[in-house]
Each structure stands twice: as structure tokens, then as C-alpha cells.
A and B are shown apart, each in its own frame.
Chain A
Amino acid sequence: MELSYYPGCTLKANAKNFETSALAILQHLDVTVKELEDWYCCGVCFSQTQDNLMQQIAPVRTLVKAKESNRRQLLALCTMCFNTLKRAIEFIKNDKEKRDTIHQFMDREDTKFYGDEVEVIDILTLIRQIGLDKLKAAIVKKAVDLKVASYYGCMLLRPQEIAIDSPDDPVIMEEIITHAGCENVYFPFRTECCGSYQIVSEPEIVRERARKIVGSAVKNGADLMVMLCPLCYYNLDEVQRDIQEEDATFQPLPVLYFTQLLALLMGLKPDLQDFRLHAIDPRPVLKRKGLL
């Protein structure tokens, strides 16, 4: 299996643990990913305006590069990139008039993108395609009674037309966690927004969200929380430190990228991950559960 890979800006900077662990598990599962030779920022937030096509150019340029790579599938690890690229495909596919305008504007590109040539895929769907049995066979470590809270956030589930699973009651993360030999913790906040980019200008909203999301997972007995979005990760890991400063009774919860946990369960070298990058140190719980 071979597919193109679009890292996006954050995986090359703040979310290094995500990239290294994800690429390591895919290699372990015999999947070859080739980073696009040339890629651009996706724009992060898909433009929701009808009348300003300029904001659609960035994701379309990357999709043109993906088409030129001659590989049908494009893996986007960062969920914000996944959401933006996938919605850009829908936009290009469904609005012929606007697609023509974009094509006329992008006159330096030799390749024209029509929407059907590239399939943007997230790592959860990819693992399902690789096969859950194959995943199960690759798991070599047995976690001791590890209770995992899977947090989806927004970008993999909304809007409905790009959702990887049911936006109301997704199961894909829990399914993979079960096959990896861990126990799932269901908590009501698992598909709720963490406050997203509001961390920049309205950090108190994010603090309130983090308090509720983490609190709900702790209340339901989670040992740690896993996720796939670098922004949710920051808002739920780093922000816990701020909450702790304000409130001594707050009970913190270690947060990991989904792929970090899988890499540990597959017995891949733990030093490929840098646990010093975590605000809430996950090492004590990982040691207690026999993963380190």
C-alpha cells in the first residue's frame, strides 16, 4: 500500500510526537507514505463564504500537487488539514461555475483539479482499510487494565458531508482501541468542541471547555485521553496546566496523540517519542500500566 502524505505546518513544528509516531506505526503496518514534494499551508479554516474564492486557492494548490504525485490517496494526519482539504474537494466537485473561475485564476498550474482524482484520508479510516485484524496482530504489549478516553473533537465529524463516522455517535476510535487491547471510556463530551483557535483571543473559553471535557473523562474513570488534532491537543494538554494554577482541586489527565498510544502498544521504541513535550506528564500512568 502506498499513498501520498500531507503533513501541514503544525506536524513539522509543535506536533512532532504525532508525526513520528504515526509514520512509525504505518511503516510497521507495511504502508508506504510519501510526503508531497511541494505543499502549501491548507489555510486551516475552510472558508465558509460564497463570494470570496481567493480563500479556496491554498487547499486547491495542494490538491493539484497531490494529483501530480499520481497516487490516489492523500493522507492528512492533522485533522484541521483533513477537514479543509476534504471540504475543498467537495467544493470543487459540486460547483462547476466556481471551479471554472478558480481554474482561470490558477493559470500557472499545468494540472487542473476536478475533485475526483484525489481522495483525502485520515489515519483512522486508513487503519480500518489496512485491517483491524492486521492491527491486532501487530500489538505486542498488553496494557494492564488501561482505560482510554477517545476524544474526537470537531474536524473529523463535522460537517456531515466530510464526516469519517456518525457526527452524533462515532465509534471508529473505540473500535481501534478495543482491537488494540485497551478498555474504552465513554464520556459525553467526546465530540464537543475544545474552543479551537479561540485560545489566541478568548483563552477563558478554552479553559472552560478543557475543564468540562477533561473533567468528564476523569469522572468516567479514564487513565488517559487520546486524540488526533494538534489544536485540541494543545487546548487540552497545555491548558490543563493553567487550570491547575487556578484551581488546586483540579484533577489532571495525561493526553496523548492516538498514534503515540498505538506505537507503544506495538512495542516500537519508546524513545521515538519525546515525552518532555507533554504539559501533563503521561509517563507515570504509562509505567503503571506496563507500557514503558
Chain B
Amino acid sequence: MSKNKTISAHRISSDRIDQLHEISGVNVYACYQCGNCSAACPAVEFMDPTPHQVIRKIQLGFIDELTTSETPWICAACITCTVKCPRGVDIAKVMEGLRQIVLRSDFEHGHLCDIDEKMRKKLPQIALIGNFRKTIL
């Protein structure tokens, strides 16, 4: 996590926020931090920051903290957050946007060959393909 927590006009208007908006098409400024998304997220206990904190960090321009965090990779795109949001913020799309920002510079997150061979033979195809779709560009 970045130690520099200073909020500045420069940070808030960074290109990274524009890039995230271009990929996801979501207006994060509609969020008023009610926390419904984090309350409903089934994987929230594994996340730091939690979904509503992710949105707040984007509003304030701390995107680098998010692209280096594990939160977008814990999200399984179950879309519960999006359904619960009273402001219509599609948080699942924001998570996808954050994953894409990382993948578009690093190509992959984790390594395919790390998957245990026994598991690979046992897993249903949709588990493997679903995982590849989210962790490889």
C-alpha cells in the first residue's frame, strides 16, 4: 500500500481514473458510501479493501493501491454488490476494470502451470475457463 495518502487535485484527475472509466463505463461518483455492497459481498472477509472502500479510493484517485491489492482477484463476479447498490453503481464492472488495468500491462495474474495436475483433471471445464478469462488477458 502506498504511504502517500495526500489527496490532491492532480491525483483526483489522473489518467488512471479515466482509463478505468473507459474500460468499465461506470460512474463511481454516484456512490455515497452506504456500504450495502460490502455488507452483501460473500467474499468480503477475504478482502482488504472491501468493495465500498474500493469505490471511495477510486473517487479519491488512489488507483495504484487497488491495482496492487488482492481485492479484485478475490471477487468472483457474482454481481451481488451490483444488485444491492441503491445508486446503480455496477461494482462488479469496476472490479473487472481493475483486473484489466493490471492484465493489460502484466498479461497474467498468477501462473497457469501452478495449477495442481490432479486438480486440473478433476475440475469442471467452466471452472478452468472462467478462471482463465479473469486472470489472463
* Chain A residues close to B by CB (< 8 Å): 8-10, 13-15, 41, 43-45, 47-52, 55, 78, 80, 154, 158-160, 167-168, 192-193, 195-202, 205, 208-209, 230-231, 233-234, 238
Contacts and interface: CB of A to CB of B under 8 A. Distances in A.
B93 interface: yes
Contact of B76 (A9, A43, A197): A197
Interface residues of B, number: 39
Given A158-B82, A193-B43, A202-B46, A50 B76 contact: no
A48 B24 contact: yes
Top 3 A-B pairs, shortest CB-CB distance: A197-B130, A193-B78, A200-B131
A49 B96 contact: yes
A168 B40 CA distance: 11
Interface of B: 22-25, 42-43, 45-46, 73-74, 76-80, 82-83, 90, 92-93, 96-97, 100, 110, 115, 119, 122-131, 133-135
Nearest to A81: B126
B129 A44 contact: yes
Nearest to A206: B76
20 contacts: A9-B126, A10-B125, A44-B133, A48-B90, A49-B97, A154-B78, A158-B82, A159-B82, A159-B83, A193-B78, A197-B128, A197-B131, A200-B123, A200-B128, A201-B110, A202-B74, A205-B46, A208-B45, A233-B124, A234-B123
Given A158-B82, A159-B79, A193-B78, A199 B24 contact: no
Contacts of A15: 124
B80 A200 contact: no
B97 A201 contact: no
Given A159-B82, A201-B135, A209-B42, A48 B77 contact: yes
Contacts of A48: 24, 77, 90, 92-93, 96-97
B126 A154 contact: no
Contacts of B128: 197, 200
A9 B125 contact: yes
